[in-house]
């Protein structure tokens, strides 16, 4: 079993899973850390997955670098990869309603 402890936040696991599924790689995931959870990846040595990861890692100057490049192509800034803020669609109408309610609590009309 090969274990890779990345500096990639657990918040980006769904994107990392998509990458592995698209490349037909069999990798398992574990969370590491207490407050800021990072991704730990595991895959079998001497397998198709190991060979594919090795080949892709050589082309991208490292396994974690390859994953970070993929996240960058997905629109995630490099600064956010270890922190874990992920983009989410926000309902602007709901946010406006919450703001109006908050203003009323403060005494504004």
Nearest to 31 by CA among 40, 19, 18, 43: 40
Q: What is the pLDDT of residue 22?
A: 92
> SS3 of 35, please?
coil
In the prediction, which pLDDT does 89 show? 62
Q: Which residue segment(s) compose the domain that 14 sits in?
A: 2-106
Encoding tokens for residue 57?
A: 């890692």
Question: How far is Cα 50 from Cα 72, in angstroms, rounded to an integer?
Answer: 23
Over residues 77-84, the mean pLDDT reads 81
Q: Which residue shows structure tokens 């918040």?
A: 11
User: In the chain, how many domains are there?
Assistant: 1
* pLDDT of amino acid 18: 92
Banded pLDDT at 20 (limits 50, 70, 90): very high
Lowest mean pLDDT segment, chosen from 42-56, 58-72, 92-106 = 92-106
């Amino acid at each position: 079993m090969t274990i890779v402890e990345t500096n990639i936040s657990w918040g980006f696991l769904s994107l990392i899973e998509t990458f592995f599924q698209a490349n037909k790689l069999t990798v398992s995931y574990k969370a590491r850390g207490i407050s800021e959870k990072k991704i730990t990846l595991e895959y079998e040595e001497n397998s198709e997955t190991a060979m594919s990861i090795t080949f892709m890692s050589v082309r991208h100057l490292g396994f974690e670098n390859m994953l970070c490049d993929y996240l960058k192509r997905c629109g995630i800034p490099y600064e956010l990869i270890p922190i874990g803020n992920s983009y989410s669609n926000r309902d602007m109408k709901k946010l406006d309603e919450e703001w109006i309610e908050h203003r009323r609590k403060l005494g504004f009309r």
